[in-house]
A and B are shown apart, each in its own frame.
Chain A
Amino acid sequence: MANDSDLERIQRSDSSMSRQSVALSSLSLTSAVVNTAKPPIVLSIGSRIIRCGVAGEFEPRYSILTKELCPNATIDQLSTKDGLKIAESLLKRIFFDIMTIDSRGGRVLIVESPFCPTNVRNVLCQTLMEKLDVGQVSFAPSPLMATLPFNILTAFVLEVGHSEVLAMPINENVTMISQCYLSQRTGRAVFERAAQLLRIHARVEENGQQRELSDQEWSQHGENFVEKFVEQYAFCTTRTRATEIKEKGNEVVLQPRTAEARIRFGALMVMVPGFVRETVFEVFFDEDDPENFTDPSIPKMVHNAILRCPIDMRRKFFESLLVCGGLARATGFLSRLKEEIIAISTKKSTICGMEPKFFHFKEAKAEPMLGWIGGSLLAACQYSLQIRSISRDDWNKTKRVPDWTDFISEAA
């Protein structure tokens, strides 16, 4: 029956969502501590931005830079021995100071990367259960959540994040973990490249003359300047222009000429040459950069990942590309990605020349928060969330968040 097939697909899927329901349903339904009058809280804890909000709403209430919430630590330190203390101060600040919502007896859904280390998940769950008295915690993988706002079952999800770039194929709601691909060419690499280029090419305008930035000035304002430049002034240029800039370097003359950027740097005014604005994002697209990266470029990675999938799915994946993540909202990113994918496919004779198609919303640039929105849509379904969560009782018994592999061993 067509109606049953949706449900069957969900149950058949080997993503964490449906597997958890099989093993824990008998235990988690007995939790009496949860306050169902309060809607669940959805958190997406990234290494650059933390998004938090209430389930059922269609945008996160607060999106905050992680370094503002963890001033002396980074998210990576959650897996160290200080992890519990860092997690406690982070989560208490999110609940009591930022969102001003009482965590006691509430339900929490955390949208995370599928490669989040197990001890980090355990630290987060332990802090939520023991220090914040939450009633029910669940974890959802962000590539799968990104497909929910589009109501699709098949997509090739490309998540371009700050510390991780992940390509994950999802076919008929089955997350194909063994065909996924990770890359070093992350948002962090873009910021590092921008810092290098700006240190060399930025010029201060003073008394009608131009000079370089001093080391002291750079150490004071450099970090903010780099972030401001990448977020507001840089863009992804076309393939032809990028190749010309790479060949000719600083002396390139392009048509149309890219204007210099005039940016405030502390109390000074700084000029940045036009080609730097176009070159910063080449970290994602530059195929031949053996000094800096051993990984292929992002469009090449998409090709390689799809080539690893069974032959009958490849065409389908090229026509269902889903890009999500913070830096995917950069001006010109999607069009350049499409251009590059076509250019690579014309070189390889095995991929026929079909046009890659993308899932995106025309009305708004929602790429950075697709994962969060998907989590909110899932968490709004009370029963579905409950059977995919670990309750307080389960936690007290096992003190461990169940992982996907737990269900395979339990079934065996």
Chain B
Amino acid sequence: MASLYQSDRNKYECSCGAWDSLGLLYFCRHCSVTRCSSCVLVELDCFLCQNCLESAPVTEARLKKNRCFACNFCPFCATVLTKKTCVNSGNTFLSCGVCRWSTRDAGIPDQSKTTTDWPMPENPLSKRLNEISGHFKDLETREKARKEKDTTKRRTNFGGFDASKFSDRFGVQKMIQARKKAIETPASTVESHVATADVPALPDDVFESTAAIQLPLNVINKQPLVEETTLLPVRLPLKGRKAIRCRKCEHHLLKLDYSPNAINYKISAFARNTIPEIRLSRGVELVVGQQSSILLTLLNHSENGMQIILTPDADDSAFEIVTESIDITLSPLDAADVLLGAEESKYSAASSSSSSNIVFQRRNRVGIRLDLCPKVDFKCLPLSLKFKNIHTTAKLETSADWKMVKVRVGLDK
């Protein structure tokens, strides 16, 4: 029975054609269409350390290489390290509560209380690679100058015409001289690496030890070019806080409050707040050839009332439609009614027509019965849901239009 409540049973169609459950969709009020996680833009507006909750804007995070300087984790078991104070000297060292590793094991001297600058692992190849990088930048400048020289065509090729003798009225001379210099300066030469026949031999102690001879892969991956004896604490990576925008109109669909620790939304355009939710009320036993009823529940999670027209999608091959369409008006959920236990909402609208198909109507939900005659066994009931809700448009002066969304209700057990 509880499987009826699973959100991924019932899929709604997004404007891009993808099908997703209602909880994962957004509704853009400016474009008046649904958006799914695939057709929205994700932005990272704020960076947060999971441990100390210190936030950083984008530019600062980029300088810090998206790591928190104050928090570190253990290189072996990836647990956050705690700062311990040495009683005698008042200095601090970092220690892991799980595997008992500490910065003293790595040979790092105790630091003063206020410091947050624990030593970072040094890349042993950085000096050499810096030289090579400089050499490549040099080659790049020459390549650029050569390409520019090739692309500019000489308009005239007058015999004896020497451009350098003319005055530099339009700044052309400067360009030509700079390009010439870039090509003609001798390229920086960096020595190539020399191949050697001297390869690391198999160490003798590898035969005697019963313990591991190499570090685990997840340890190596965190500090790739560092030897085992010099493993250092690793700075905690910052997590990015996502803000979501509609791809077409670039308005925000989802935005958290300004404060980095906030968990409430400033803007939240979830589809659930605009589109009615539909789910199976009871399990269904369909017999081919016999007319059967499917019981569905429709819920209104928005703040305003909405009118709904539910129609089974005409699909002649799978089933024969008996119930043509159902007209419903749903009121919103009022918190006061829930507390007071009122069965009928004080907003209760007049009961709609085609009441023979309505099983019950209570506060913001209605139970309906759809009759159909299946021709073959089918797993998903395709429905077309037309709804009218003032939330569907961002413009206050225009009245709400009817919007349509296609739904597939999963009938499997």
Contacts and interface: CB of A to CB of B under 8 A. Distances in A.
A320 interface: yes
B63 interface: no
A335 B42 CA distance: 49
B215 A387 contact: no
A151 B192 contact: yes
Interface string A10-44: 10000000000000010000000000001000000
Given A3-B186, A334-B200, A88 B66 contact: no
A259 B207 contact: yes
Nearest to A336: B202
Nearest to A233: B212
B214 A152 contact: no
Contacts of B136: 148, 377-378, 380-381, 384
Given A100-B66, A332-B206, A364 B125 contact: yes
Interface in B209-235: 209-217, 221, 224-227
B129 A332 contact: no
Interface stretch (B6-14, B105-113, B139-147): B139-147
B59 to A, nearest CB: 10
Contacts of A236: 202
A327 to B, nearest CB: 11
Interface of A: 3, 6-7, 10, 25, 38, 49, 54, 56, 58-65, 88, 92, 96-97, 99-102, 104, 131, 133, 148-153, 227-228, 231-233, 235-238, 256-262, 274, 319-321, 330-332, 334-336, 338, 355-361, 363-366, 368-369, 373, 377-378, 380-384, 387
6 contacts: A58-B126, A59-B123, A99-B66, A148-B132, A358-B199, A365-B225
A377 B65 contact: no
Given A7-B146, A256-B208, A58 B192 contact: no
B147 A151 contact: no
Contact of B143 (A60, A331, A380, A384): A384
B314 interface: no
B187 interface: yes
A408 B211 CA distance: 55
B137 interface: yes
A104 B143 contact: no
Contacts of B382: none
Given A102-B44, A152-B193, A10 B143 contact: yes
A231 B197 contact: no
Interface of B: 38, 41-44, 47, 58, 61-62, 65-66, 123-126, 128-129, 132-133, 135-137, 139-140, 142-144, 146-147, 186-187, 190-193, 195-197, 199-204, 206-217, 221, 224-227, 237-240, 242
Contact of A377 (B41, B132, B191, B239): B132
Contacts of A361: 124-125, 128
Nearest to B135: A151
A358 B196 contact: yes
Given A7-B146, A335-B201, A363-B124, A257 B207 contact: yes
A322 B296 CA distance: 66
Nearest to B206: A235
A331 B129 contact: no
Contacts of A381: 136-137, 139-140
A388 B186 CA distance: 25
A185 B201 CA distance: 23
- Of A101, A228, A262, A382, most buried by chain B (CB within 10 Å of CB) is A101
- Of A59, A149, A338, most buried by chain B (CB within 10 Å of CB) is A59
Contacts of B125: 58, 149, 361, 363-364, 366, 373
B237 A380 contact: no
B38 A88 contact: yes
Contact of A235 (B47, B196, B202, B210): B202
A363 B224 CA distance: 12
B147 to A, nearest CB: 7
A271 B262 CA distance: 52
Contacts of A331: 202-203, 206, 213-214
Given A102-B44, A381-B140, A338 B199 contact: yes
A351 B65 CA distance: 51
B43 A104 contact: yes
A29 to B, nearest CB: 9
A59 B207 contact: no
A149 B132 contact: yes
Contacts of A377: 129, 132-133, 136
A236 B132 CA distance: 33
Contacts of A61: 65-66
B166 to A, nearest CB: 27
List the 3 shortest-distance A-B pairs measured between CB atoms, nearest first: A100-B240, A232-B212, A150-B193
A98 to B, nearest CB: 8
